[in-house]
């Protein structure tokens, strides 16, 4: 029976009860798990995204051990097996009952300019953590999926904002004898608070991991969905302990790995779950003792979002020539402001200037500071052709600014330029 990704997404988030799963699907799963010939290896092989290596086998064995004398009698009992959780539960059911129809996405273009297909998603990270600091060892906190009517109170804010990624045209990997497509995480900002701490999460761009998507059917004769997405991205955690007010920036010395099932692109209404626990260290002492351990985490890609998907382009400009021999020109810039928004509001804009964008990012300079509207005047730019672009800025829960993607660069020069006639 075919059931779309949105259905399983709602099951995992608790927006639909487990009883909404069709009886025929439930019976198929329970019969498979109750089969007397079932082994940890057979469950592990039947559920590709159950877990990596020994952890996946251990969870498969835990499922077998949880069977009573008469076996499982409901899917809820499977969900309640320690270590399964909502994301892995949906993987167990979807894999055994084979509920995802095969589709062949078009991820390439023969028309220039061709490039990766970009997607930006409202993103929520549900996770549990354990503090390893002296005096706080064993203290646990975390972020659940909370309904809208309880958000906003102390200790009741989801760890939620946005992420963006791009996917390249798929190709056949001869070494693995499988099709795969490369994925790159291009943006991530998550922040929230529980009763213990305020946390802001961003990408560690010093790493250049290889992320990819590969069809779940290893014998597929062309790239197809459903597929497994594996993300091997390291994150930076900015942490503020509420009781002491102490702040620190945490980095991982492992490669955090999350996997999830993709059935369409953009990958809205999908989930990724961690493959192992990850320790984080104080950036000021990365070889010292660990500060925090992520025990388990599930990423929910909810749907389209406003911040990382928006591009703010300059719509009008005016070059005002300087007066006299030593007078400098002025430049007036206008764009369409979209301040606010949800779930990740645009708090203000910045205008960056360059004399030559071919110099790369290092050639761009923030010349405006915060701009809370749709216009700005550069009062004394140097003479000659100039380039401007506008970036949206979000300020996270700890007061740190996060830049979105810039709009297109606009070349500004006098009306009597030699390049005009």
So what's the pLDDT on residue 153? 44
What's the angle, vertex CA 38, arms to CA 32 and CA 43, rounded to 5? 75
Residue the block writes with tokens 């992520």: 294
Residue the block writes with tokens 């990270």: 125
So what's the pLDDT on residue 205? 80
The parts of the chain modelled with pLDDT lower than 70 are 145-157, 417-421
State yes or no: cis peptide before 131, omega within 30 of 0: no
For 174-257, list the strands marked E by DSSP: 178-193, 197-203, 211-215, 227-231, 235-241, 247-252
- Written as one string, the DSSP assignment of 30-58 is HHHHH-TT--HHHHHHH-TTS-SHHHHHH
- CA-based nearest residue to 192, from 161, 229, 234: 161
Q: Which two tokens stand for residue 325?
A: 């021999």
Q: What is the CA radius of gyration of the chain?
A: 25
- Cβ pair 120, 163 in contact under 8 A: yes
What's the angle, vertex CA 158, arms to CA 157 and CA 164, rounded to 5? 135
Distance (Å, whole) CA 69 – CA 53: 28
State yes or no: cis peptide before 117, omega within 30 of 0: no
pTM (global) more than 0.85: yes
DSSP H or E segment with residue 94? helix 85-97
DSSP H or E segment with residue 88? helix 85-97
Q: Which residues pair with 199 in a beta bridge?
A: 192, 239
Which tens digit of pLDDT belongs to each residue from 237-273? 999 999 999 999 999 988 778 999 999 999 999 999 9
Residues 14-37, buried b or exposed e (16+ Cβ, 10 A)? eeeebeebeeebbebbbebbeeee
Distance (Å, whole) CA 9 – CA 141: 24
């Amino acid at each position: 029976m075919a059931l779309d990704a949105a259905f399983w997404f709602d099951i995992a988030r608790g927006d639909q009860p487990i009883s909404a799963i069709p009886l025929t699907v439930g019976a198929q799963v329970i019969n498979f798990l109750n089969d007397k010939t079932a082994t940890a290896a057979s469950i592990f092989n039947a559920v590709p995204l159950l877990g990596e290596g020994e952890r996946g086998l251990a969870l498969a064995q835990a499922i077998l051990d949880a069977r009573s004398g008469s076996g499982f009698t409901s899917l809820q009992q499977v969900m309640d097996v320690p270590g399964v959780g909502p994301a892995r539960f949906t993987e167990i059911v979807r894999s055994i009952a084979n509920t995802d129809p095969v589709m062949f996405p078009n991820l390439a273009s023969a028309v220039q300019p061709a490039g990766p297909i970009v997607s930006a998603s409202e993103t929520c990270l549900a996770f549990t953590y354990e503090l390893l600091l002296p005096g706080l060892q064993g203290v646990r906190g975390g972020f659940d999926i909370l309904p809208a009517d309880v958000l906003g109170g102390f200790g009741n804010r989801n760890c939620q904002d946005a992420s963006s990624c791009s996917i390249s045209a798929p190709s056949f990997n001869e070494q693995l004898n499988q099709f795969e497509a490369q994925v790159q995480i291009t943006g991530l900002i998550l922040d929230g608070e529980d009763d213990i701490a305020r946390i802001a999460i961003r990408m560690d761009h010093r790493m250049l991991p290889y992320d990819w998507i590969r069809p779940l059917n290893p014998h597929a004769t062309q790239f197809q969905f459903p597929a497994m997405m594996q993300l091997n991205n390291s994150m930076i955690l900015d942490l503020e302990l509420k009781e002491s007010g102490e702040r620190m920036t945490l980095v991982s010395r492992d490669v955090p790995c999350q996997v999830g099932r993709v059935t369409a692109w953009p990958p809205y209404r999908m989930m990724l779950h961690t493959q192992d626990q990850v320790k984080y260290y104080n950036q000021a002492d990365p070889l010292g003792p660990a500060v925090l351990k992520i025990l388990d985490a599930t990423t929910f890609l909810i749907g389209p979002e406003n911040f990382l998907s928006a591009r703010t382009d300059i719509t009008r400009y005016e070059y005002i020539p300087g007066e006299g021999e030593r007078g400098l020109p002025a430049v007036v810039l206008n764009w369409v402001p979209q301040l606010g928004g949800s779930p990740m509001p645009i708090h203000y804009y910045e205008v960056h200037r360059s004399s030559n964008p071919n110099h790369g990012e290092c050639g761009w300079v923030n010349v405006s500071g915060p701009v809370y509207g749709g216009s700005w005047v550069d009062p004394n730019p140097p003479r000659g052709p100039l380039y401007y672009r506008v970036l949206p800025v979000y300020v996270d829960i700890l007061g740190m600014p996060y830049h979105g993607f810039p709009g297109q660069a606009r070349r500004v020069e006098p009306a009597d330029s030699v390049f005009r006639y």
